Chain A
Amino acid sequence: MEVRGPRIKIGLLEEFLNLARANSLWPMTFGLACCAIEMMATTAARFDLARFGAEVFRPSPRQCDFMIVSGTITKKIAPVLKTLYDQMASPKWVLAYGNCAISGGPFVFEGQYNVIEGVDKIIPVDVYVPGCPPRPEALIEGILKLQEKLTGVRRFPIPEKKW
Chain B
Amino acid sequence: MIKWFKRIYQEYFYSDLLVVFSLGTSALFLLLVILPLIYLLAKGAFELGLNYWGKDFLRLLLGIVGVLIVVFGNALILVYVERKVAGWMQLRIGPKEVGPSGLLQSIVDAIKLLGKQLLRPRHVDRPLYLLAPLLIFLPCLVTMVVIPFDHDLQVRDINVGIVLILAFSALTPISIFMAGWGSANKYALLGGMRSISQQIAYEIPMVLSLIPVVMLSGTLSLKGIVEAQKIPFVCLQPIGFLIYFISAVAETNRTPFDLPEAESELVAGYHTEYSGMRFALFFLAEYTNVFIACALATIFFLGGYKGPLLPGWVWFFIKTYLLIFIMMWFRWTFPRVRFDQLLNFSWNFLIPLAMLNLVVTGMLVKI
Contact = CB atoms under 8 A, between A and B. Distances in A.
Interface of A: 11-12, 15-17, 19-21, 23-24, 29, 44-46, 48, 50-53, 55-56, 58-60, 62-63, 65, 87, 89-91, 151-155, 157
Interface stretch (B85-93, B159-167, B313-321, B354-362): B85-93
Interface in B63-112: 83, 86-87, 90-98, 102, 104-105, 108-109, 111-112
B115 A91 contact: yes
Interface of B: 1-2, 5-6, 9-10, 14-15, 17-18, 21, 83, 86-87, 90-98, 102, 104-105, 108-109, 111-112, 114-119, 263, 267-268, 271-276, 279
A43 to B, nearest CB: 9
B256 to A, nearest CB: 19
Nearest to B267: A59
5 contacts: A17-B111, A53-B95, A58-B268, A60-B267, A151-B9
A51 B84 CA distance: 10
A58 B274 CA distance: 12
A44 B93 CA distance: 11
A152 B273 CA distance: 32
B275 A89 contact: yes
Contacts of A53: 95, 97-98, 102, 105, 108-109
B98 A89 contact: no
A155 B15 CA distance: 10
B5 A52 contact: no
User: Which 8 A-B pairs rank lowest in CB-CB distance, beginning with the nearest?
Assistant: A20-B111, A62-B275, A89-B275, A60-B268, A45-B91, A89-B117, A17-B115, A48-B92
Contact of B87 (A15, A50, A157): A50
B272 A62 contact: yes
A89 B116 contact: yes
Contacts of A153: 6, 9-10, 14
Contacts of B102: 51, 53
A62 B109 contact: no
B273 A50 contact: no
A156 B366 CA distance: 70
